[in-house]
Amino acid sequence: MVLSKTASETDVSVHSTFASRYVRTSLPRFKMPENSIPKEAAYQIINDELMLDGNPRLNLASFVTTWMEPECDKLIMDSINKNYVDMDEYPVTTELQNRCVNIIAHLFNAPLGESEAAVGVGTVGSSEAIMLAGLAFKRKWQNKRKAEGKPYDKPNIVTGANVQVCWEKFARYFEVELKEVKLREGYYVMDPVKAVEMVDENTICVAAILGSTLNGEFEDVKLLNDLLIKKNKETGWDTPIHVDAASGGFIAPFLYPELEWDFRLPLVKSINVSGHKYGLVYAGIGWVIWRSKEDLPEELIFHINYLGADQPTFTLNFSKGSSQVIAQYYQLIRLGYEGYRNVMENCHENAIVLKEGLEKTGRFNIVSKDDGVPLVAFSLKDNKRHDEFEISEMLRRFGWIVPAYTMPADAQHITVLRVVIREDFSRTLAERLVIDIQKVLHELDTLPAKVNAKLAMAEEEEAKSGTVVKKTAIETQREVAAFWKKYVSERKTNKNKIC
């Protein structure tokens, strides 16, 4: 989190059991200690606390890579002390970044000549990549409006309500109105027809999502492109498209090579992708690629020389580590097209295994699609007695981190659970997860009987005392929820007791 807070006054020290042979006094939690401590103690204190974190391999909420080969881990550690921005000091690292940009640009079918270099840059993730792409669109639109003598103070971007929060950040930080196409039940991505209807002369771009965070579905970029070409021709505008391929950019080229979503479509001017998602690199590395030099305004590029030679730079930050860039190049040459295809096909197959296992329970509706990012989003067919949030909470007892969330407007009444299938999630784990979900469902099925019995007893007591008050549905629901919270809390307490 960017924002932090301190604990209460009664919990201001860090206590350690195993490090007590080195340190007998507690360390202040939010202030620097007066004295040094042995390195073994510092390690043990931190390691003890980190044991309470979740297991990254079982974090099914995250799209981010949690496993790489030992050889790549070694390359990462060998280069962890290199500052990527020192291009003159580390020219080979800069060369590897340029190779990655060109490999990815060709993967996305950028219209490059035989010896033409691609235009792009490595970032700390897709959030920074989106900021850079958005700034390029905004500046190009402003320059055009200024040349035409028209107002340029009210830019907007058209997106679906399913976009990731980084788009909202860009809009707020850089003063661009975000015009969102609302969702509807059964259709959880941006409708291209409605999106084009919202485009006006102040629209700097339409942002399409290749792999929605909510359900993994690919938006129809081809239809969006065709509709927008028609509208541009009718209006005289030249509204472009940006494709947020954070999740799907390293999936579509290997699983759906015939799908037209990238630079094959003339209005697609820039694409971002997360190397730390299905690019198979640890956090954080992202990439943004432009169609051509003309799509990145020159005035946004800074040239510095105080680190050695002239260095062009277009990033929001300055210093950053080189490790992830090197790791990305390792994966690209280590796996090649064949290797990436094998990984993505395996992820897709394991997603189908999980989906079919959930369907066999007869308790869930599958919200995700078979084609798209390999994930399974699902909701209860009947959540009157217990809901998706309770399932998410109880799965943590087995080590699984499975998020539950509500859909954006106008489908906010739909709640779903989502499991992201990464390279390190095997078929065995998929089958194990289904078994654990069945256990949770079985246990939850016993709770309403206990709750209803308790409520019935309470009503009986009230009847005897002559103070019966008819409860509304919402009051009954609140009592059930309160009983549930108390039940879970007591189980956690009893579980932690030593017999």
Average pLDDT value over all residues in the chain: 88
- Model pLDDT, residue 485: 57
What separation in angstroms does the CA of 426 have from each of 338, 353, 434?
A: 19, 10, 13
Within-domain flag for 22: no
Cα gap 121→100, rounded to integer Å: 9
Q: Provide the CATH number for the domain around residue 402.
A: 3.90.1150.160
- Model pLDDT, residue 409: 82
Within-domain flag for 281: yes
What percentage of the chain exceeds 90 in pLDDT?
69
Note the pLDDT tens digit of each residue in 307-362.
555 667 788 888 889 999 999 999 999 999 999 999 999 999 999 999 999 999 99
What percentage of the chain exceeds 70 in pLDDT?
84
- Model pLDDT, residue 301: 87
The reply to whether 309 and 193 lie within a common domain is yes
Structure tokens at 200: 């006006």
The reply to whether 206 and 270 lie within a common domain is yes
- Model pLDDT, residue 394: 95
The reply to whether 186 and 268 lie within a common domain is yes
Within-domain flag for 135: yes
- Model pLDDT, residue 18: 55
Smallest Cα–Cα separation from 242: which of 217, 219, 271, 275?
271
- Model pLDDT, residue 359: 97
Q: Of 420, 443, 466, which one is at a domain's C-terminal end?
A: 443
The reply to whether 352 and 327 lie within a common domain is no
Residue 491 pLDDT exceeds 60? no
Q: How confident is the model at residue 488 (pLDDT cuts 50, 70, 90)?
A: low
- Model pLDDT, residue 29: 87
Residue 241 pLDDT exceeds 80? yes
Note the pLDDT tens digit of each residue in 402-443.
999 999 988 888 999 999 999 999 999 999 999 999 999 999
- Model pLDDT, residue 465: 65
Note the pLDDT tens digit of each residue in 244-301.
999 999 999 999 999 999 999 999 999 999 999 999 999 999 999 999 999 999 999 8
- Model pLDDT, residue 317: 83
The reply to whether 184 and 224 lie within a common domain is yes
- Model pLDDT, residue 168: 95
Q: Provide the CATH number for the domain around residue 166.
A: 3.40.640.10
Residue 149 pLDDT exceeds 50? yes
320/495: higher pLDDT? 320
What separation in angstroms does the CA of 273 have from each of 105, 126, 258, 288, 411?
A: 11, 6, 19, 7, 27
Q: Of 312, 333, 354, which one is at a domain's C-terminal end?
A: 333
Look up the domain containing 149 and give its range.
72-333
The reply to whether 427 and 281 lie within a common domain is no
The reply to whether 417 and 312 lie within a common domain is no
Residue 146 pLDDT exceeds 50? yes
What is the rounded average pLDDT of the residues 373-394?
A: 94
The reply to whether 414 and 340 lie within a common domain is yes
- Model pLDDT, residue 495: 45
The reply to whether 211 and 99 lie within a common domain is yes
The reply to whether 192 and 253 lie within a common domain is yes
Overall number of domains in the chain: 2
Go through 197-226 and write b for each residue having 16 or more CB atoms within 10 A of its CB, e for each that does not.
eebeebbbbbbbbbbbbbbbbbbbbbbbbe
What is the rounded average pLDDT of the residues 112-136?
A: 94
Q: Which residues pair with 119 in a beta bridge?
A: 290
- Which contacts (CB < 8 Å, 24+ apart) does range 73-80 have? 75/323, 75/326, 75/327, 75/330, 76/282, 76/323, 76/324, 76/326, 76/327, 77/323, 79/321, 79/322, 79/323, 79/326, 80/321, 80/323
490/33: higher pLDDT? 33
The reply to whether 326 and 342 lie within a common domain is no
Note the pLDDT tens digit of each residue in 30-80.
999 888 988 888 888 888 889 888 899 999 999 999 999 999 999 999 999
* Angle, alpha carbons 199-263-326 (nearest 5°): 120
What is the rounded average pLDDT of the residues 2-24?
A: 60
What is the rounded average pLDDT of the residues 365-393?
A: 94
Within-domain flag for 39: no
The reply to whether 432 and 315 lie within a common domain is no
Within-domain flag for 153: yes
Smallest Cα–Cα separation from 195: which of 185, 176, 210, 180?
180
Cα gap 126→99, rounded to integer Å: 19
Residue 499 pLDDT exceeds 50? no
Q: Of 394, 409, 443, which one is at a domain's C-terminal end?
A: 443
- Model pLDDT, residue 496: 45
Within-domain flag for 494: no
Within-domain flag for 131: yes
Omega of the bond leading into 73 within 30 degrees of 0 (cis)? no
Note the pLDDT tens digit of each residue in 183-215.
998 999 999 999 999 999 999 999 999 999 999
Residue 16 pLDDT exceeds 90? no
- Model pLDDT, residue 25: 76
Within-domain flag for 316: yes
CB 347 within 8 Å of CB 374: yes
